Chain A
Amino acid sequence: KAGVTQTPRYLIKTRGQQVTLSCSPISGHRSVSWYQQTPGQGLQFLFEYFSETQRNKGNFPGRFSGRQFSNSRSEMNVSTLELGDSALYLCASTPDPGTYEQYFGPGTRLTVT
């Protein structure tokens, strides 16, 4: 079974721009979560989606948003990029919210200049 895939793997953007990252979960997995990883803050939860609904949101500004499609694929969007948004963005999937083990993709490395 294919793992979680994320596109693109690397991205360079300029401050003030916006960016959209994509995540395809493992086949049959319906819950998708997003995490931000930085050297200073470590791994921090962004949000979780199930059945196209956001179930949970971390402590991030409104510039960070996401959505999930009917095929469980998910996107996250960051508007008005700041230098501090440079990070590895990881997507994880689980079969459903009651299954707590999460399977992670390789991440998207975002660099904001």
Chain B
Amino acid sequence: AQSVTQPDIHITVSEGASLELRCNYSYGATPYLFWYVQSPGQGLQLLLKYFSGDTLVQGIKGFEAEFKRSQSSFNLRKPSVHWSDAAEYFCAVATLNQGGKLIFGQGTELSVKP
């Protein structure tokens, strides 16, 4: 069965430090992968997506993610974190044989220290 694992429930980084959020997926075919961010009391905002092609994808707000098929991973990175990046981050895979419904990881909550 398809699944997404985000191993880190909570991460704290200092403002200005680099960030990497981990995501591993289990999917039989070529995955369509996404990262979403959710601020408290808000919906999900799409940060970036990977469908095919270049394995390093750029997103909004200075985020990027790298798809590594050999490791079944799609980690999210940012070179310098801002206080406003504090939020919950979700990795998701689209299940193409089920109408494209999204399967989400459990999320990683990011705290930013001043």
Interface residue from B45, B90, B98 paired with A43 (Cβ < 8 Å): B90
Chain B nearest CB, measured from A107 CB (Å)? 5
| Minimal beta-carbon separation of B107 from chain A (angstroms) | 7
Q: Say yes or no: B99 contacts A101, CB within 8 Å.
A: no
**In which size bucket is the chain A interface?**
20 to 34
Which B30-58 residues have a C-beta within 8 angstroms of A? 32, 34, 36, 41-46, 49, 51
Report the bound CA distance from A107 to B42 in whole Å: 7
Which of B41, B43, B45, B96 contacts A100, CB < 8 Å? B96
Residues in chain A near residue B49, CB distance under 8 A: 100-101
Secondary structure call for the B interface: strand
B3 CB to nearest chain A CB (Å): 12
- In the complex, the number of residue pairs spanning A and B with C-beta atoms less than 8 Å apart equals 57
Chain B, Cβ-Cβ closest to A42: B106
What does DSSP make chain A's interface, helix, strand, loop or mixed?
Answer: strand
CB of B94 within 8 A of CB of A100, answer yes
Which residues, 57 to 114 on B, are CB-close (under 8 Å) to A? Answer: 90, 92, 94, 96, 98-107
Of A48, A100, A109, which one neighbours B32 at CB under 8 angstroms?
A100
A92, B32: Cα distance in complex, Å: 17
